[in-house]
Structure 1
Amino acid sequence: MTPLTVEVTSSTGSDHLLPSKDPWYTAPADFEASIPGTVLRIRTVPGQPTVFSNAAAAYHILYRTTGSRYQPTWAVTSLVIPKKPCVHSGYNALLSYQMAYNTPTIDRGPSYRIFEPPLPNNYGIPPGHQQFDIMLDRGWFVTIPDFEGPRAAFGASVQAGHATLDGIRAVLSLAGHPDIPLPSSADKFKYAMWGYSGGSIASEKAAELQVQYAPELARGFVGAALGGLVSNVGSLYTVTNKTPYMGNLVLILLGVMNEYPEVDTYLRSRLKTEGPQNATAFLKGRDMDSFQAFQTYAGQDIFEYFVGGEADLEACQALRKIKMVEWMLGYHGAPEVPLFVYKAIEDELTPIADTDAHMEHYKRFNVSVLYERNTVGGHISEIVNGQDRAIKWLASVFDSSYDKEGGIKTRDVTVDIYKPPIP
């Protein structure tokens, strides 16, 4: 079956079921035999994209991808069609946007959440719906992958990178489909990626892996914007432990446990059975996203959940490998596409020093990077402070006006437009 013969099914009614309760979120039998990027199912989004004023239509696409252990798996991406597609020099723009959905449960993935009304939060974090509408207003086709896969492997960056690249492959393979308003040929697309925070991990890892995993994408791949870049996930266990943001540390371990059975078995065996920070309290995080985990685990010491404390995590050989292979960006090679990296110097969740070192590493390989360090704000405010700069940069790579000369260009900027919510 070719992508052009995969039937687009129409979702009946307006019910949007949680993925764990929705039988559509399953792969067909023998899907493992297909190649990465193969489209396995397509449907219109239940209820259609009523939350986006600039969307003409939206589709869920289930496709074959590859996990962190290089096993066949699948993922879902949401393709949103703009009302007025733009064309630059004969090309349409396709943006793969990786959301920071940060969760070890499939029920909080973007294919469900972005088509629901935005949820309020107490942290001043914009929900992203307005951001999507801005992209669509520019005439960009937007694809938003559930890059953690069916096991919700938060913290497994190789899985995330593969799923991001295969989501782009899947959309490109549908060009010319009679029931989906896409260009007639994949050759008519230029494509780029964008991600902030947790989404920056998936986007950066995809840029690393593209050279070896999806070399054919080089033809139309024009760049990646990486905001609040988490260059070293492992350092979060020092920086954010015992802070209001400690909950992410629990979710990352739970996500890695979903992808690596040996880590799951080991960490469960080391969780305390008594006291307030015990196995039951830790495993409750399996149904949370960052907002919930921030509230539940604020100020706690992650190592107090384990019988041997921090030494238990250090003793796990599989975790030591994960710290390099999954959590240290740059491990799998140097991207060949231009990058726009933006981050607040006083980022309180992920140290600027990690990203400075990351960019120094890429300097050795002459990677083309515009690296902007904002002198004001922190991790949350840079979501807003960096948004317009990222969109402007993406527009420049789509219309070929960006100067793609190699090397790292670093500059400090002062952009302060974020308005914190009024309590």
Structure 2
Amino acid sequence: MVLGPGAGPGFAQPALPTPNPGPPPGISLPDFQKWIDEVVPHPALAPAAPDSPLVDTADLTPELAALRSAAMPAAIGDPFVDDWPDGLDALDNGAIVETRDITAFAGGEMVLPVRQVLQLKYRTSDSQDKPSYAIASLVLPAGDWTGPGERPIVVNNLPIDALGRKCNPSYTLTHGITRAAELTGYLQPTTQLALARGYGVLITDHEGPRMAYAEPVVAGHAILDAIRAVRNQYPDELSDSRFGMIGYSGGAIATNGAVKLMDSYAPELDNLVVGAAMGGVPADFSLLAHSMNANLASGVFMGAVFGIGRERPEILAAMNNLAQWVATSSINSECSETFATPGALLLPIDVLSNIPDPLDSPLAHQIYSVTRMDGMKSAVPLYIFNGDQEFWVPAVGAENLYNEQCALGVRAVYRHVLGEHFIAAFTGYPESLAWLDQRLQGIPAPDEC
């Protein structure tokens, strides 16, 4: 596949072991890849529908279009989520397409009293700036806002980390906590603590309709357009609200995408979004090829590559027959607890490619640069933290992001916290939320650069 070593300007590499264990001694990787394609037949795929906006077959060969179509997530039987809206070309980003009130069911999940839980379906743009749609859930607490200005909103970008639509927060809000829910995000009481402060909460399905797991451009657009959608839905109540973002792990990928894209994509939000707190940040996928390949994290790494490939089909074109079988199987609509299991095989992702040296190929470096968003300045102050004992999402990636943003003039804070990826989600959480609360109160952000 495509993730591997290599870094852009200002991103130093850590002293980590080589990510490419390769095939057994005496067998070259290209020979091993060729053998796989001889043993594993090419999957028989139905032709892609030429007019499907979900697949977007423009500029693709028929074979690649069929693969992209078969690699898309399955519908979940909910038209609000599944149906691609007509007429998106004529709408502005953030324009409301449809809403539904789910207070009767989701209100009970909030623990605290709420006035409304409203799901918004709105126009956004995909990674190629083509029309798309996204969904976000707005939670408004009971009672009037008594603080200064309009009610602040916490944008809670949960770590969806999934390939299937049933893994989205909107699904959990309408179906309850199931095995599909990413519990790390729900165990952190961000929504409940924000409601207790009288804040509204905006919970985003930031992977978009293609479930482009780990793709920061799609996620950034979806988040920024969710804020626009809230302002469009409540122009008299929330159009001048302060918005503050928070995200961990996959939610940090999304948050990082949003703050780096804001100046170019949604500049009118610059004075409304007051800060972003991010932890466990997978800011540089070239590092993850060292840390998540050929070990227990390989399944998650594979899922991220497949997710990015849904938006960037040049990745799909680099898959061999075995990878194509996996990408078009039922695993392509599952949550991380399912597609993570192949990590038990400890296989290097290299064996799923059809190109030599895939982890250090020109295609790989192109994807690293695009997803790292080299040199793009955050439009808002940042709070960044990472576990010092991280071995799957190394702290050097978050540190490099902090140093890059400091050099670009962003007001930023970095915190070293105790723990690996799962423990650090909790050890770094309280201070990050307190920092965000201060921004929503209008207190100027500290600068520790």
Aligned residue identity for 1:157: P
**Aligned length in residues:** 371
Q: Give distance in 2, aligned partners of 1:283 and 1:300.
A: 21
The residue aligned with 2:158 is 99
Going from structure 1 to structure 2, the CA distance change for 1:337 and 1:88 (only over 3 Å counts) comes to farther
The residue aligned with 2:387 is 344
Match of 2:349 among 279, 282, 303: 303
Match of 2:415 among 372, 383, 405: 372
Match of 1:211 among 263, 275, 290: 263
- TM-aligned CA deviation for residue 119 of structure 1: 4.1
Going from structure 1 to structure 2, the CA distance change for 1:27 and 1:293 (only over 3 Å counts) comes to closer
- TM-aligned CA deviation for residue 232 of structure 1: 0.7
Q: Are 1:208 and 1:333, in contact at CA under 8 Å, matched by a contact in 2?
A: yes
The residue aligned with 1:227 is 279
Q: Any idea what SS the aligned residue of 1:134 has?
A: helix
The residue aligned with 2:57 is none
Q: Out of 104-113 and 298-307, give the one that drifted further.
A: 298-307
Name structure 2 gaps, 5 residues minimum. Answer: 1-73
Question: Is residue 58 of structure 1 aligned with residue 117 of structure 2?
Answer: yes
Q: Any idea what SS the aligned residue of 1:88 has?
A: coil
Q: Give distance in 2, aligned partners of 1:304 and 1:90.
A: 54
**C-alpha distance after superposition, 1:195-225 (max 9, x if no partner):** 0000001111111111111110112211001
User: What does residue range 298-337 of structure 1 map to in structure 2 within 5 Å?
Assistant: 298-303=344-349, 305-306=351-352, 311-312=357-358, 314-315=360-361, 317=363, 319-326=364-371, 328-329=372-373, 331=374, 333-337=376-380
Q: Give distance in 2, aligned partners of 1:87 and 1:218.
A: 24
**C-alpha distance after superposition, 1:29-74 (max 9, x if no partner):** 1112211111110011273332111233211100011111111111
- TM-aligned CA deviation for residue 243 of structure 1: 2.6
The residue aligned with 2:105 is 47
Could you state the TM-score of these two structures normalised by the residue count of structure 2? 0.76
Aligned residue identity for 2:119: H
Q: Any idea what SS the aligned residue of 1:65 has?
A: strand
The residue aligned with 2:79 is 23
Q: Give distance in 2, aligned partners of 1:352 and 1:21.
A: 40
Q: Give distance in 2, aligned partners of 1:175 and 1:320.
A: 43
Q: Give distance in 1, aligned partners of 2:383 and 2:264.
A: 21
Match of 2:92 among 35, 41, 53: 35
Question: Is residue 143 of structure 1 aligned with residue 186 of structure 2?
Answer: no
The residue aligned with 1:388 is 430
Going from structure 1 to structure 2, the CA distance change for 1:129 and 1:41 (only over 3 Å counts) comes to farther
The residue aligned with 1:74 is 133
Q: Give distance in 2, aligned partners of 1:83 and 1:174.
A: 18
Aligned residue identity for 1:38: A
Aligned residue identity for 2:101: T
Q: Are 1:50 and 1:115, in contact at CA under 8 Å, matched by a contact in 2?
A: no
Could you state the TM-score of these two structures normalised by the residue count of structure 1? 0.81
Match of 1:131 among 190, 194, 211: 190
Q: Any idea what SS the aligned residue of 1:164 has?
A: helix
Q: Give distance in 2, aligned partners of 1:400 and 1:22.
A: 40
- TM-aligned CA deviation for residue 280 of structure 1: 3.2
Q: Give distance in 1, aligned partners of 2:106 and 2:223.
A: 23
The residue aligned with 1:267 is 318
Q: Give distance in 2, aligned partners of 1:344 and 1:115.
A: 33
Aligned residue identity for 2:78: D
Q: Give distance in 1, aligned partners of 2:419 and 2:198.
A: 31
Q: Give distance in 2, aligned partners of 1:246 and 1:90.
A: 48
Q: Any idea what SS the aligned residue of 1:361 has?
A: helix
- TM-aligned CA deviation for residue 332 of structure 1: 5.5
Q: Give distance in 2, aligned partners of 1:298 and 1:309.
A: 24
Q: Are 1:251 and 1:289, in contact at CA under 8 Å, matched by a contact in 2?
A: no
Question: Is residue 292 of structure 1 aligned with residue 370 of structure 2?
Answer: no
Q: Are 1:34 and 1:64, in contact at CA under 8 Å, matched by a contact in 2?
A: yes
Q: Are 1:303 and 1:310, in contact at CA under 8 Å, matched by a contact in 2?
A: no
Q: Give distance in 1, aligned partners of 2:206 and 2:183.
A: 24
Q: Give distance in 2, aligned partners of 1:75 and 1:128.
A: 24
The residue aligned with 2:405 is 362
- TM-aligned CA deviation for residue 235 of structure 1: 1.6
The residue aligned with 1:418 is none
State the superposition RMSD in angstroms. 2.5
Q: Any idea what SS the aligned residue of 2:315 has?
A: helix
Going from structure 1 to structure 2, the CA distance change for 1:86 and 1:346 (only over 3 Å counts) comes to farther
User: What does residue range 4-19 of structure 1 map to in structure 2 within 5 Å?
Assistant: none
- TM-aligned CA deviation for residue 364 of structure 1: 1.4
Q: Give distance in 2, aligned partners of 1:367 and 1:227.
A: 17
The residue aligned with 1:275 is none
Going from structure 1 to structure 2, the CA distance change for 1:234 and 1:228 (only over 3 Å counts) comes to same
Overall identity of the aligned pairs, in %: 23
**C-alpha distance after superposition, 1:381-416 (max 9, x if no partner):** 122212221221111011123x435452xxxxxxxx
Q: Are 2:158 and 2:247, in contact at CA under 8 Å, matched by a contact in 1?
A: yes
Going from structure 1 to structure 2, the CA distance change for 1:22 and 1:388 (only over 3 Å counts) comes to same
Q: Any idea what SS the aligned residue of 1:47 has?
A: helix
**C-alpha distance after superposition, 1:180-201 (max 9, x if no partner):** xxx63512x1111110000001
**C-alpha distance after superposition, 1:282-329 (max 9, x if no partner):** 544312222222233335223254255772454463x43221112x15
Going from structure 1 to structure 2, the CA distance change for 1:407 and 1:211 (only over 3 Å counts) comes to farther
Question: Is residue 404 of structure 1 aligned with residue 449 of structure 2?
Answer: no
Going from structure 1 to structure 2, the CA distance change for 1:150 and 1:282 (only over 3 Å counts) comes to closer
User: What does residue range 82-121 of structure 1 map to in structure 2 within 5 Å?
Assistant: 82-84=141-143, 86-119=145-178
Q: Are 2:159 and 2:185, in contact at CA under 8 Å, matched by a contact in 1?
A: no
Aligned residue identity for 1:201: I
The residue aligned with 1:168 is 227
Q: Give distance in 2, aligned partners of 1:153 and 1:307.
A: 19
Aligned residue identity for 1:234: S
Aligned residue identity for 1:23: P
- TM-aligned CA deviation for residue 230 of structure 1: 1.5
Q: Are 1:85 and 1:140, in contact at CA under 8 Å, matched by a contact in 2?
A: no
